[in-house]
């Protein structure tokens, strides 16, 4: 159980909400004005526990095709027993509404209309945002105005459409220092099958929200749960169960934490790619432990001939699979986990 002084939510104020103990509220925060004069509104749920305690930010669908997290967040905050909750939850089930409308990673309409002006196009890679910046930076700034008030944050993703992860947590970069150990303990409590602890790559960029959070000496992480563009009841169940455990871990809910999930810490996840184009027949499943040389996938050309048998270049567990039925040369088929050698003390 994390040692911390409870009671930090007592002076919390959020525009548009009357914060009262023991209340669950839903509202929308108005952001950008669109060309027709309508506004983009970000849905926010505030759950104020019966007792004072920390502030926890939960976000989902910052990439618009990542759907499982929307239901994980809304189910968790609707189900939670407010009488048992210490502290306040700030939950944003859809963090990027314009991308969500079209079920695409980005707000693709603006990206087509004015691609140069939309760089950066990804709010996730634009934290802490800029209230005078472009669309992505303004959305990030609005989300950050909530996130900055939180003691803890979890940001829920899936892979983009065409990919599926085993329940997976990604930590802030190791360069953020000791605070990352607390993020790792939180990922263990969540019961992720794989926990990425690294200092390099796309998951640890400086402008990602969990990195910004860690640099503020607050505890945060990202999650990847299931397949992009899908609603998966088993993953939603797993996500809600994991959040309950995390809330017990940080002391916002009473009770002991349970132990579940594979919880393997990995430092890298090398990509295995197709070298031929064709139909993609996968022969492995998530979490399967491969040996070097195991058959991962067969690529079959449009004339029905097997043109490639993709074999595992190394031993390791399958962390991510491609679910696209077709691939071109150079496309990702699976990613394998590389286990961390020395297990740190928790
Ligand atoms: Zn994402």
Q: Is the peptide bond before 260 cis (omega within 30 degrees of 0)?
A: no
| Cα-to-centroid distance, 86 and ligand 1 (Å) | 29
Q: What are phi and psi of 236, to 5 degrees?
A: -65, -45
Q: Which structure tokens are listed for 282?
A: 């996968």
* 171: exposed, middle or buried (Cβ count in 10 Å: 0-12, 13-18, 19+): buried
| Cα-to-centroid distance, 159 and ligand 1 (Å) | 6
| Cα-to-centroid distance, 107 and ligand 1 (Å) | 13
| Cα-to-centroid distance, 182 and ligand 1 (Å) | 22
pLDDT of 15: 87
The helix (H) or strand (E) run that includes residue 215 is helix 209-215
**DSSP-assigned beta bridge partners for residue 199:** none
- Cα–Cα distance between 34 and 41 in angstroms, integer? 11
How large a percentage of the chain has pLDDT more than 70?
Answer: 97
| Cα-to-centroid distance, 42 and ligand 1 (Å) | 17
- Cα–Cα distance between 139 and 94 in angstroms, integer? 11
Q: In 3-state terms, what secondary structure has residue 98? A: helix
DSSP state of 228: B
- Quick: pLDDT tens for 262-316: 999 999 999 999 999 999 999 999 999 999 999 999 999 999 999 999 999 999 9
* 48: exposed, middle or buried (Cβ count in 10 Å: 0-12, 13-18, 19+): buried
Q: Does the structure show a pLDDT above 80 at 2?
A: no
Beta strand 86-92 pairing with 338-339 = unpaired
Q: What is the mean pLDDT of residues 150-157?
A: 98
| Cα-to-centroid distance, 151 and ligand 1 (Å) | 22
State the average pLDDT for the chain: 95
Furthest CA-CA distance within the chain: 67
Please list the alpha-helical segments (H only) found in 82-153: 97-101, 108-113, 135-147
Q: In 3-state terms, what secondary structure has residue 11? A: coil
7 band by pLDDT with thresholds 50, 70 and 90: low
| Cα-to-centroid distance, 222 and ligand 1 (Å) | 9
- Cα–Cα distance between 114 and 134 in angstroms, integer? 11
| Cα-to-centroid distance, 105 and ligand 1 (Å) | 7
| Cα-to-centroid distance, 27 and ligand 1 (Å) | 24
pLDDT of 8: 80
| Cα-to-centroid distance, 160 and ligand 1 (Å) | 6
Q: Does the structure show a pLDDT above 80 at 56?
A: yes
pLDDT of 344: 55
| Cα-to-centroid distance, 18 and ligand 1 (Å) | 31
Measured CA to CA in angstroms, residue 99 lies from 86, 109, 154 at distances of: 33, 9, 20
| Cα-to-centroid distance, 22 and ligand 1 (Å) | 32
- Cα–Cα distance between 167 and 243 in angstroms, integer? 13
| Cα-to-centroid distance, 44 and ligand 1 (Å) | 19
- Cα–Cα distance between 135 and 221 in angstroms, integer? 24
| Cα-to-centroid distance, 103 and ligand 1 (Å) | 12
| Cα-to-centroid distance, 126 and ligand 1 (Å) | 13
- Quick: pLDDT tens for 239-270: 999 999 999 999 999 999 999 999 999 999 99
Q: Which structure tokens are listed for 293?
A: 């040389």
| Cα-to-centroid distance, 158 and ligand 1 (Å) | 6
Domains defined along the chain, listed by start? 23-265 (3.40.630.10), 269-339 (2.40.50.100)
| Cα-to-centroid distance, 100 and ligand 1 (Å) | 12
| Cα-to-centroid distance, 224 and ligand 1 (Å) | 8
- Quick: pLDDT tens for 94-103: 999 999 999 9
How far the first Cα of the chain sits from its last, in Å, is 11
pLDDT of 158: 96
Beta strand 278-282 pairing with 326-327 = antiparallel
| Cα-to-centroid distance, 142 and ligand 1 (Å) | 18
Q: What is the mean pLDDT of residues 148-155?
A: 97
pLDDT of 116: 86
The helix (H) or strand (E) run that includes residue 296 is strand 295-300
| Cα-to-centroid distance, 156 and ligand 1 (Å) | 7
| Cα-to-centroid distance, 136 and ligand 1 (Å) | 14
Query: Cα angle vertex 180, ends 201, 97, to 5°?
Result: 65
| Cα-to-centroid distance, 62 and ligand 1 (Å) | 6
Residues 6+ apart with CB under 8 A from 109: 98, 102
Task: State pTM to two decimals.
Answer: 0.95
Q: Does the structure show a pLDDT above 50 at 13?
A: yes
């Amino acid at each position: 159980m994390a040692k911390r002084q409870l009671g930090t939510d007592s002076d919390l104020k959020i525009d548009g909400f009357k914060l009262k103990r023991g209340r669950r509220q839903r509202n929308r925060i108005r952001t950008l004005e669109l060309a027709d004069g309508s506004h983009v509104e970000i849905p926010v749920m505030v759950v104020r526990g019966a007792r004072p305690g920390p502030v926890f930010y939960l976000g989902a669908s910052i990439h618009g095709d990542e759907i499982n997290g929307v239901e994980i967040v809304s189910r968790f905050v609707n189900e939670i027993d407010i009488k048992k909750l210490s502290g306040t939850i700030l939950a944003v089930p859809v963090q990027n509404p314009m991308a969500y409308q079209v079920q695409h990673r980005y707000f693709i309409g603006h990206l087509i209309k004015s691609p140069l002006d939309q760089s950066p196009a990804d709010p996730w890679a634009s934290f802490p945002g800029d209230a005078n910046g472009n669309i992505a930076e303004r959305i990030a700034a609005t989300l950050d105005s909530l996130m900055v008030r939180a003691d803890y944050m979890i940001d829920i993703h899936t892979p983009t459409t065409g990919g599926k992860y085993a329940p997976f947590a990604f930590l802030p970069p190791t360069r953020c220092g000791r605070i990352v150990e607390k993020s790792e303990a939180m990922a263990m409590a969540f019961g992720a099958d794989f926990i990425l602890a690294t200092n390099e790559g796309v998951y640890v960029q400086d402008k990602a929200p969990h990195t910004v959070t860690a640099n503020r000496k607050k505890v945060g992480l990202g999650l990847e749960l299931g397949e992009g563009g899908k609603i998966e009841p088993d993953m939603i169940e797993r996500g809600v169960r994991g959040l309950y455990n995390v809330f017990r871990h940080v002391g916002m809910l009473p009770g002991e934490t349970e132990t579940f999930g594979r919880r393997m810490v990995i430092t890298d996840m090398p990509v295995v790619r197709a070298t031929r184009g064709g139909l993609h027949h996968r022969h492995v499943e998530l979490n399967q432990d491969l040996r070097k040389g195991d058959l991962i996938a067969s690529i079959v050309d449009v004339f029905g001939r097997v043109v490639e048998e993709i074999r595992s270049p190394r031993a390791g567990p399958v962390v991510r699979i491609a679910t696209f039925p077709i691939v071109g040369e150079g496309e990702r088929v699976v990613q394998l986990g590389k286990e961390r050698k020395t297990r740190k003390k928790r």
